[in-house]
Chain A
Amino acid sequence: MAFPFYWMLATSFKSPQEALQAEPVWVPERMKPVNWLKAARLGDSPLFGGLGPGRSVALFFPGPEAPPPRALVPRSPGAFFDPVADGTRVEVVRGEGGWWVRLTNTGEAGFRRVPLVVLWPKGVPLEPPLPPDARRSQGEYWRLEWVNAVPGALGYVFHNYLEAWDAAPWGRYFFVSFFTASVQVAVGLFLAALAAFALARIPFPGKEAVFVLVLATMMVPGEVLLIPNYVLLARLGWLDTFYALIVPWLASVFGIFLLRQFYLSLPQDLFDAARIDGAGYLTQLFRIALPLSVPGLVSYGIFTFLGAYNALLWPLIVTQSPEMRTVQLGLLAFVSEAGSDYGALMAASAFVIAPVVLGYFVAQRQFIQGIARTGLK
């Protein structure tokens, strides 16, 4: 059960070469604490790394005097102008018992990432200052590649996460998702509470008919509603807006039933006493019924939030512009864009599910009981 989660996390820390191994790598280099310490020594800040203007960093490779290694900062493929490659001076100097590769920022701006390639002669034992992200054969040399020679500890470990985060406007996606889900929960709870109270406690003409109607909507699968609701939204001009994401899901039969069950289980005496004290229906609802049905509210809230946050089909249909994408849509787009960069893809998956999983660990009891309660109808 837990394996896919482990595999997701392990892959999210892998370099591309580690991810694309025939033999699975269980503990990638970036998960080993000894490498965190090594990475902390590289870069201006021990945590975040980076190379400021005029600053330099030196990497030590123990080895004999001859043959000498070579080093270069690779140009990003296809770029006409590469400030990092052009603004970094690379020197290979002989030191005591080995070689120093010194990178100096000669530009005006600071660099967050400085990729590095070292050509290391074959046959010479290799003890790099940081495990290379890729190692290929190139003639007489091993071509050792680092995606970032100035990572700092966090920059090293979470490299894939930073890559994935920078590849798309995730901040906006998270805002859209959280806003949609929160409004659905808040307004949905309010509406469901009102309706459930009326159905449970207030006698009015036609109540039976209303009840049957509400029950009947439960029989209709969500699939049937996709097209007509889409057409309706299109007619209203609401497509690609928050209205489209939120409004159709505000009233929930499930919520009404759940809360109605709760209200029905409260003793009638409570409400009679309140009425004698002169409380109207609204006062009865907000002062008596709601405080006593908190478990039901929590249950409905969690269910609605999960549903809204995890939804894919509805947002896929009613939104088009990147500004209105939810995180799930963002992830879907990323799946097709990321290609074979499985490290970044798994990192994106990990931070997409992180809020819900964190919420689960904070409020484990509420989650389990809330979901269990949905079965007691």
Chain B
Amino acid sequence: MWPALALLLVWQVFPTLYAFYLSLFDRVNFLRPAAFAGLQNYRILLEDPLFWRALGNTFWYVVFTVPTGLLLATFVAILLNTQVAFLGLYRTLFFLPYITALTAAAAVWRWIYHPEFGFLNWLLHTPGLDWLNTPTGVFALLLRPLGVELQGFLAGPSLAFVAVMAMSVWHFLGYQVVILLAGLQAIPKEYYEAAELDGASFFQKHRLITWPLLSPTTFFLFTLGLIGAFQVFTQVYVLTPTGGVLQDTLTLAFYLYNKGFRDSDFSYASAIAMVTFLVILALTLVQRRLLEKRVNYEI
């Protein structure tokens, strides 16, 4: 076991500490020795509008994709679990996007979102709508006809970012469906038979049996989705390589990449990484506190 442990130490345990160490310096790159700067990077970070923008965008990404994905996946999994015919075919349909490389999938979606010749604009009769270059927030777009003008964070994620989210939900749905199906199949059939004898409706059965008994799986997927959503990079980078108009699709991972590998400021990028880590850690702990009590581990 020692080789594996040594590798873990060198490439995962040590780097975590090293990242923190790096973040304490003034602009680490390979050109010159860096000066120790204490917590200066963090101080700059807290006043950096782009960082807040990235954090806000990532927040919207989590809020939009994680619950939507889970709800859709639960719905699909329940449907697939009841309908026996062509199960394999449907499962394949939902699963294929997940094993497809994000880069290729994003390239295809970029083509679907194309402002002039994209399929989506033809479908929705919105010729010329440039999905990936529209920085207006969706809440602002939706409420404008009602005479409500929203600004800043309240305007919601930009239309471009929502387009990225739709693609992400499409990509990850299959994974969640497969895991949920496995969870559904572990629920004993007797419960449903008993419920049917008592005259329970479809809705009642799933609310009172499926939902509680599936909660460990849902909870697992929720945690995983949360952690994954905070690190979203690939689809954003392929769909909007520059971070969108006015940086409206900038995410934390994207900002980290920009700072570290475009601007060669490794210490500032490390500070971003550490803050992201803390946010994820805090959120995981909070959701554990709040939700785990309601998770039913016994079948």
Contacts and interface: CB of A to CB of B under 8 A. Distances in A.
Interface of A: 1-2, 4-5, 7-8, 11, 19-24, 191-192, 194-199, 202, 210, 213-214, 216-217, 219-232, 234, 247-251, 253, 256, 306, 309-310, 312-313, 317, 327-328, 331-332, 335-336, 342, 345-346, 348-350, 352-353, 356-357, 360, 364, 367-368, 371-377
A345 B93 CA distance: 23
Given A231-B22, A248-B11, A250-B7, A356 B101 contact: yes
Interface of B: 1, 3-5, 7-8, 10-16, 18-19, 22, 28, 30, 88, 91-105, 107-112, 114, 116-117, 119, 122, 127, 170, 173-175, 178-179, 181-183, 217, 220-221, 227, 230-231, 233-234, 237-238, 241, 252-253, 256-257, 260-261, 266, 269-270, 273-274, 276-277, 280-281, 284
Main SS of chain B's interface residues? helix
A229 B273 contact: no
Nearest to A255: B4
B96 A360 contact: yes
Given A214-B8, A223-B253, A228 B15 contact: yes
Contact of A352 (B3, B103, B109): B103
Contact of B108 (A220, A327, A349): A349
A281 B95 CA distance: 39
Contacts of B253: 223, 313
A224 B274 contact: yes
Nearest to B91: A368
Given A7-B112, A375-B221, A312 B102 contact: yes
A346 B111 contact: yes
Contacts of B10: 232
A312 B16 CA distance: 21
A309 B183 CA distance: 28
Contacts of A372: 178-179, 181-182
Contacts of A213: 8, 13
Given A328-B101, A352-B104, A253 B8 contact: yes
A377 B7 contact: no
A4 B4 contact: no
Given A4-B97, A371-B178, A328 B230 contact: no
Contact of A306 (B99, B107, B238): B99
Nearest to A21: B117
Given A224-B16, A231-B22, A371-B178, A191 B7 contact: yes
B102 A220 contact: no
Contact of B16 (A2, A7, A225, A345): A225
Nearest to A218: B12
B92 A364 contact: yes
A345 B94 CA distance: 24
A1 B172 CA distance: 11
A104 to B, nearest CB: 38
B99 to A, nearest CB: 5
Closest 7 interchain pairs by CB? Answer: A198-B1, A228-B15, A251-B7, A195-B4, A375-B179, A195-B1, A372-B182
Contact of B101 (A220, A221, A309): A309
Contacts of A312: 101-103, 233-234, 237-238
B261 A317 contact: yes
Contacts of A356: 99-101
B257 A313 contact: yes
B15 A224 contact: yes
A108 B269 CA distance: 59
B5 A195 contact: yes
Contacts of B234: 312-313
Nearest to A250: B7
A22 B128 CA distance: 11
Contacts of A1: 93-94, 96-97, 170, 173-174
Given A306-B99, A328-B101, A371-B179, A225 B15 contact: yes
B184 to A, nearest CB: 11
Contacts of B98: 371
The winner among B16, B116, B174, B175 for most chain A CB atoms within 10 A is B16
B110 A194 contact: no
A350 B104 CA distance: 8
A313 to B, nearest CB: 5
21 contacts: A4-B97, A4-B109, A22-B116, A194-B4, A221-B227, A222-B231, A226-B256, A226-B273, A228-B15, A228-B19, A247-B7, A310-B100, A310-B101, A312-B102, A312-B233, A331-B101, A346-B107, A356-B101, A364-B88, A364-B92, A371-B178
